[in-house]
Amino acid sequence: MDCIELVELITDYLEGTLPHHDRERFNAHLSECPYCVIYVDQMRATLGALGAIPAESISDAAKQTLLHAFREWKRG
Ligand SMILES: [Zn+2]
């Protein structure tokens, strides 16, 4: 799994509807990607505060910002 796929699956992951196989791949990515760990923590906090993840919180703009950060990080 890469960061883009993780971002696309995070809602299912946090809502517990992600299939077991994908959940394992999701966790495997988290074990090697600190940026996604932070992202998941933020999304989990959003879910805890609102009871749901608003669609706009995973807007294209937010996604682009996140993926830009990933690219900068990987370029190192
Ligand atoms: Zn990642």
Give the closest residue to 45 by CA, choosing from 36, 55, 53, 34.
Answer: 53
Give residue 34's identity as a one-letter amino acid code: P
| Percent above pLDDT 70 for the chain | 82
> Rounded to the nearest whole angstrom, what is the distance from the C-alpha of residue 39 to the centroid of ligand 1?
9
User: Can you give the CATH number for the domain in which 17 is found?
Assistant: 1.10.10
23 or 74, which is more confident = 23
Q: What gap in Å lies between CA 71 and CA 66, rounded to an integer?
A: 9
> Rounded to the nearest whole angstrom, what is the distance from the C-alpha of residue 58 to the centroid of ligand 1?
15
> Rounded to the nearest whole angstrom, what is the distance from the C-alpha of residue 12 to the centroid of ligand 1?
16
Q: What gap in Å lies between CA 27 and CA 49, rounded to an integer?
A: 23
> Rounded to the nearest whole angstrom, what is the distance from the C-alpha of residue 20 to the centroid of ligand 1?
19
How many domains does the structure of the chain reveal? 1
Give residue 1's identity as a one-letter amino acid code: M
pLDDT at 1: 93
Domain that holds residue 68: 3-75
Question: Average pLDDT of 60-73?
Answer: 71
Provide the pLDDT confidence category of residue 69 given band limits of 50, 70 and 90: confident
> Rounded to the nearest whole angstrom, what is the distance from the C-alpha of residue 42 to the centroid of ligand 1?
14
